């Protein structure tokens, strides 16, 4: 499954643009803060409308301004891992995982719990989780939405070295074993070099 992205968007005083077409398993967008990496993810997810261009994933057009195509967020089937995780603090892990769950995913809920090693966390509240545990729960929620592809925004930000080393192999397993293409945002070149089949640098304009 390939990403075919060629978009441009004016945000404030900055022009955000990306042209990338690849069937890489994991594409890393790198660059300093403020260059628009997260905005690109939001455009692919359907949360931000590009001013021009097109977005395709796996041969399906998600957006094309010339053709008048702009699929709703729910029809894009993106699993989005936000930088701030966005777990609901008033809901236990089990309820967080079930939120947004859709049928038709590649893995059952039990398979996802086993894959991520979070079955023992179901009755915990988010505030009681470590950073690594919360990250795995957020990944589980994204996988339970039956995604066709994953968007990951700085998933290691805020984690200490031990928690980073806990999550990095998990992302590698997502890349290698689950088979969902991943568009991955980071500012860390070493992280990108370890994980990505293709690295796309977004320069600071």
Number of domains in the chain: 1
At 51 the pLDDT is: 96
Q: Output the pTM of the full model.
A: 0.91
In Å, how far are 17, 76, 194 from 147, measured between CA atoms? 25, 8, 24
Distance in angstroms (rounded) separating the CA atoms of residues 120 and 5: 39
pLDDT digits (tens, 9 = 90+) for 11-51: 888 899 999 999 999 999 998 888 899 999 999 999 999 99
Inter-residue contact 98 to 146 (CB < 8 Å):
no
Residue 125's domain is classified under what CATH number? 3.40.50.300
SS3 150: strand
- Render pLDDT for 108-121 as a digit per residue (tens, 0 to 9): 889 999 999 999 99
For 152-165, write each residue's pLDDT tens digit: 999 888 788 888 88
In terms of residue numbers, what domain contains 122?
3-201
pLDDT in the model for residue 159: 81
Q: With 70 as the cut, is the pLDDT of residue 205 above it?
A: no
Are 72 and 46 in contact by the 8 Å Cβ rule? The answer is: yes
């Amino acid at each position: 499954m390939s990403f075919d992205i060629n978009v441009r968007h004016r945000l404030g005083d900055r022009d955000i643009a990306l042209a990338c077409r690849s069937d890489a398993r994991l594409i890393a967008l790198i660059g300093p803060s403020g260059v628009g990496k997260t905005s690109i993810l939001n455009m692919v997810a359907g949360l931000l409308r590009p001013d021009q261009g097109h977005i395709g994933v796996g041969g399906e057009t998600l957006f094309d301004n010339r053709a008048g195509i702009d699929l709703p967020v729910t029809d894009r089937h993106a699993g989005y891992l936000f930088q701030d995780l966005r777990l609901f603090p008033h809901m236990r892990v089990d309820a967080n995982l079930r939120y947004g769950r859709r049928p038709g995913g590649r893995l059952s809920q039990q398979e996802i719990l086993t894959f991520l090693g979070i079955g023992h966390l179901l009755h915990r509240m988010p505030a009681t989780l470590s950073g690594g545990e919360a990250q795995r729960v957020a990944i589980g929620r994204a996988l339970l939405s039956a995604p066709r592809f994953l968007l990951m925004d700085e998933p290691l930000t805020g984690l200490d070295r031990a928690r980073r080393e806990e999550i990095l192999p998990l992302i590698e397993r997502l890349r290698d074993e689950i088979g969902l293409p991943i568009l991955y945002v980071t500012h860390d070149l070493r992280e990108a070099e370890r994980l990505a089949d293709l690295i796309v640098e977004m320069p600071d304009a």
